[in-house]
Amino acid sequence: MTDTATQIKEMNDTNDVVLYMKGTKTMPQCGFSQRVAGVLNFMGVDFADVNVLADEEIRQGIKDFSDWPTIPQLYVKGEFIGGCDIVTEMTLSGELDKLFDDNGVAYNKEAADKIREANA
């Protein structure tokens, strides 16, 4: 494993939820990263944000690590979940709630329901 892959694995192993994104959870720098961070923030999920714009090796390394070509990328308990479209679909279908429930990740169920109501 490369140093970058090791660094990514350690980040995923030490945090229940990790979002590799452009920018930070408080200052996203692309619309897709903003959408996923917004969902997680709104649902009250405690997550680590990794700004891929700050480190070119991580920016490319995460794409190699997941074999997924785009950013953002969401990991829960070390497992790659997907990017913006997948996270959006999972939020609207309730699958993200189930994933968090199954993995013991705390979130605000009412907030998740509000997102679904607003997009119904």
Q: Residue 52 gets which letter from DSSP?
A: G
Instruction: Give the Cα separation of 70 and 93 in Å (integer).
Output: 22
Phi, psi angle pair for 20, to nearest 5° = -85, 120
The answer to whether 84 is annotated as binding is no
Contact in structure between 82 and 98 (CB atoms under 8 Å): no
Residues forming the annotated binding site? Answer: 30
Residues forming the annotated binding site for [2Fe-2S] cluster? Answer: 30
